[in-house]
Amino acid sequence: MNRRRDLPIAGGVLVAINVIIYMVCLFTGGELYSRGSLNAYGVLIKHEYGRVLWAMFLHSGATHLFSNMLILFFMGAMIEKEVGHICYLLLYFLSGIGGNLLSLLIKVINSDMSSSVGASGAVFGLDGVLLTMVLLSGRKMQDVTPVRVLAMIALSLYSGFSGSNIDNAAHVGGLITGFLGGCVVCILQRRRRERQR
């Protein structure tokens, strides 16, 4: 039972779903992008609120997909092992939705009618979760230190802000949401361990 808990089942399923959807997009053209990309007009004017979620499963190209899935699988595996499959999925989706909501807000403020796609907000959320785990959980994770996690986050943010056509609001929103969600999980885990003593 413990061995199954240690396997990155949820992360593997998420990667598989993202890859399958990308393959479908390759064969169907822009249909899924037009129906699922995140944009202010679709969400606020046409009331297509599902775009806040669906955009997390769409990627602009193979490189975009590969970079997100690589981080999702390997970093996500560490987090999933610590918090469990269900909690991991909740943190992932909350981070992605939080990132997309901040992205949507910034689009409205800037009268930006562009569309965005990608799991980057959710992936940055996992960065935030990992940071809370090394700061607050009270448990040591092999080769993972606060300095390393902060350096990784800083490098990722710098890469985003120095690039073009990147939804940095989704990155920041996901990071904040993941950090807050991770704080809640760490507090609950500590309380449970204290009750078991």
Active site residues: 120, 171
Tell me the C-alpha distance between 9 and 102, whole Å. 29
How many CB atoms lie under 10 A from the CB of residue 75? Answer: 19
Rounded to the nearest angstrom, the gap between the alpha carbon of residue 53 and the centroid of all alpha carbons in its chain is: 11
Q: Is the dihedral of CA 97, 99, 102, 107 positive or negative?
A: negative
State the Cα–Cα distance between residues 164 and 21, nearest whole angstrom: 24
Tokens 């985003």 locate to 160
